[in-house]
Amino acid sequence: MEQAGADDRGSRTPGRASGGSAAAILVLYGLWAANYVAIDVNTLLPLAKQILARAQEVNATGPLVIGNRLTATSLLMLGQFEAARVHYDRAVALYVPEIAPPVGGPVRPGYRSAGTGLSAWALWHLAILNAALKDARAALENAREIGQAGTLMYTLCHAAIPEILAGQVAWQQTHAED
């Protein structure tokens, strides 16, 4: 893995990591994703911290958005809700679609929806219920504005949890129509 980030030559585009850094972050992201699906919570946070550290080294917006979101999700899965919330807030604040594409790829407008939707979970666990519902609804509104089916489905899945726990049945019926 050390060699994946060894060559950082190449042109820099604002918001993007250079070649070697982008490749290293993408490899780590793939490992993180595999462990997320496997629910290997003991491996997620160390991988997310590596991604965030590399993102901080290259100081590019896209990798910083990804690093903070993955760190937040790892912390959320470990029950560290306040720390997760801080990283979700950072990821959402950093994300500007026009200048913050993900590492080595096209702009993904769902990053704000995903971060805000999952932040609602952290807020719910911290018993900040009104803010959790506000974030869930903001995530859904953002996903609808984007107009991509995949983004909306992902956001519906995650934003629905705080609403279901709050007994917001009418909202769930509205979402079923999406």
151 vs 70: CA distance, rounded Å = 17
- Segment 118-133 shows an average pLDDT of 88
153 pLDDT above the threshold of 90? no
Domain boundary among 74, 92, 107: 107
How confident is the model at residue 1, as a pLDDT? 35
109 pLDDT above the threshold of 60? no
One domain, residues 103 and 113? no
pLDDT confidence band for 28 (50 / 70 / 90): very high
For the chain, the domain total comes to 2
| Phi, psi (degrees; rounded to nearest 5) at 152 | -65, -45
One domain, residues 62 and 85? yes
Domain boundary among 107, 139, 170: 107
One domain, residues 39 and 102? yes
One domain, residues 83 and 158? no
Range of the domain at 16: 1-107
Token pair for residue 173? 């019926």
CATH number at residue 56: 1.25.40
How confident is the model at residue 97, as a pLDDT? 67
- Segment 79-104 shows an average pLDDT of 79
pLDDT confidence band for 172 (50 / 70 / 90): low
How confident is the model at residue 3, as a pLDDT? 34
One domain, residues 41 and 61? yes
Which three-class secondary structure string do you get for the chain?
Answer: CHHHHCCCCCCCCCCCCCHHHHHHHHHHHHHHHHHHHCCCHHHHHHHHHHHHHHHHHHCCHHHHHHHHHHHHHHHHHCCCHHHHHHHHHHHHHHCCCCCCCCCCCCCCCHHHHHHHHHHHHHHHHCCCHHHHHHHHHHHHHHHHHHCCHHHHHHHHHHHHHHHHHCCCHHHHHHHHCC
Range in 71-80, 86-95, 96-105, 146-155 with the lowest mean pLDDT: 96-105
Alpha carbons within 13 angstroms on the beta-carbon side of residue 12 total 12
One domain, residues 88 and 8? yes
Query: How crowded is residue 69: how many other Cβ atoms within 10 Å of its Cβ?
Result: 25
- Segment 9-36 shows an average pLDDT of 70
Token pair for residue 10? 């190449």
- Segment 33-58 shows an average pLDDT of 93
